[in-house]
Amino acid sequence: MKHNKLKPFPANFFWGGSTSAYQIEGAWNEDGKGPSVIDMAKYPEGTADFKVASDHYHHYKEDIALLAEMGFKAYRFSIAWTRIYPNGSGEVNQKGIDFYNNLINEIVSHGIEPIVTMYHFDLPFALQQKGGWSNRETIDAFEIYAQTLFENFGDRVNYWLTINEQNMMILHGDAIGTVDPNLENPKKELYQQNHHMLVAQAKAMNLCHQLLPNAKIGPAPNIVSIYPASSKPEDIMAAHNYSAIRNWLYLDMAVFGRYNTTAWNYFEEKGYVPTILDGDMEVLASANPDFIAFNYYTSQTVAASEGDGSDICHTGDQHITVGEPGVYKGANNPNLKKNEFGWEIDPVGFRNTLREIYDRYNLPLIITENGLGAFDKLEEGEIVNDPYRIEFLRKHIEQMQLAITDGVEVFGFCPWSAIDLISTHQGCSKRYGFIFVNRDEFDLKDLRRIRKQSFYWYKELIATNGEKLN
């Protein structure tokens, strides 16, 4: 739809940025922190591990001051479960509580709204050793962890996100490094884990509402529009299948408290039906999110799959769709350019996605990730020019404003990432931040912070509440 006049961004719009604990903090075993599955995983050859990352643990004051200088209204970060409970459950680690108290105080003292992700891929390794999300005890551990967060930080944190990209952990656990490679029947087991995570999320949402009546909580999946590769009815059905399996399975449960029908039939067809215990569906139905947070990098295009699997390419990641015999297969979209890592770039798809989610659920939306990974270069004179990132973000923000004009209720935009950090599976040379962190894959250098060109651009954009887009 063409609009003659654009609606402005709402007053008090949460312009901000995002990070996650394991990708930015470092200090992987300091002050009593226990190991997470990420700390114990193997890394792709030639890429940095997460031990030091951007060393935010020791630079947090300087980092938050830089975010404040950019004018951030909100900052979305995650808490490392293993700093609070080194073994996932049991005894609380006071030093972990202290760190996040200090961090949150620092954020709040600059007038920035903290938005906390409770769990961003880094499950405590001690829980993983007991079966991780396959073991129902992890649901209890998550509930206790959630309670600890609400009790300790709920006086200052009003916005909570339960689980980051649960759908990507299930669909692409291999790329993200969160899947247990020793699983016997990975997919069936993954959907069992998925069920347990959904129950854990519902319990956390209920607990939040009980303990913090003024706080708001929501899920944070990765949701994107799925396009059919052609107007062939079979391709349209494949897109419908993949939307259900990738998107609506997660949000229908979070919002409506029920399994999506197409996804459920897919479980039955493939033998992935999870075991559901008495009471689970009641818990799931009782929980309600206050908003939906979602991550968007690109749309996805799929085609019908003939059924024997021979037509499916098997290399993918969060944003390169693989496929499943007889259900859908990943396809290229000839209308879209790709970034250096093979991810398609689709700003209009962002507007499509915002409209689809809002039409379906009618809840306020916040974007908790969107951004461009690139090989930024530090030039002489402390200069990092990243016009490609500015262009990427500008185009997406334009489409977000169009979606707002379409009537979609959006209350924040927190691109990935506030500061350079380590990518999930492509090292630290794949940079996303507004702030450059001076290190290489294996040479930590001085880790000094340098404002990129995009830093100044975003600062001006925020100062004008999005009016100065161009």
- Return the active site residues: 165, 369
* Maximum separation of any 2 CA atoms in the chain, in Å: 64
Phi, psi of 433 (to 5 degrees): -80, 170
Residue number of the CB atom closest to ligand BG6:
423
Quote the least distance from Cβ 376 to ligand BG6, whole Å.
14
Quote the least distance from Cβ 287 to ligand BG6, whole Å.
22
Residue in the structure block whose two tokens are 């470092």: 26
Q: Residue 303 or 393: which CB sits closer to ligand BG6? A: 393
Q: Residue 293 or 302: which CB sits closer to ligand BG6? A: 293
Where does 90-200 show beta strands of DSSP type E?
A: 113-119, 159-164
Quote the least distance from Cβ 222 to ligand BG6, whole Å.
6
Give me the amino acid identity at 408: V
Quote the least distance from Cβ 152 to ligand BG6, whole Å.
24
Helix (H, G, I), strand (E, B) or coil at 157: coil
Q: Residue 9 or 119: which CB sits closer to ligand BG6? A: 119
Q: Residue 173 or 373: which CB sits closer to ligand BG6? A: 373
Quote the least distance from Cβ 370 to ligand BG6, whole Å.
10
Residues 300 and 304: their CA atoms lie apart, in Å, by: 14
Q: Residue 28 or 259: which CB sits closer to ligand BG6? A: 28
Residues 24 and 428: their CA atoms lie apart, in Å, by: 10
Q: Tokens representing 444?
A: 């930590």
Q: How does strand 365-369 pair with strand 410-413?
A: parallel
- Packing angle of the helix pair 186-211, 249-256 (nearest 10 deg): 30
Residues 182 and 303: their CA atoms lie apart, in Å, by: 31
Of 52, 27, 49, the residue nearest 103 (C-alpha): 27
Q: Tokens representing 30?
A: 């300091």
Quote the least distance from Cβ 234 to ligand BG6, whole Å.
29
Residues 393 and 170: their CA atoms lie apart, in Å, by: 28
The total of other beta-carbon atoms located within 10 Å of residue 34's CB is 23
Residues 356 and 408: their CA atoms lie apart, in Å, by: 9
Quote the least distance from Cβ 371 to ligand BG6, whole Å.
7
Where does residue 362 rank: exposed (0-12), middle (13-18), buried (19+ CB within 10 A)? exposed
Q: Residue 113 or 420: which CB sits closer to ligand BG6? A: 420
Contact 23, 76 (CB under 8 A): no
Q: Tokens representing 318?
A: 């969060």
DSSP 367-403: EEE----B---PBTTTB---HHHHHHHHHHHHHHHHH
Residues in touch with ligand BG6 (CB under 6 A): 20, 23, 164-165, 168, 222, 295, 318, 369, 373, 416, 423-426, 430
Contact 420, 432 (CB under 8 A): yes
Q: Residue 78 or 89: which CB sits closer to ligand BG6? A: 78
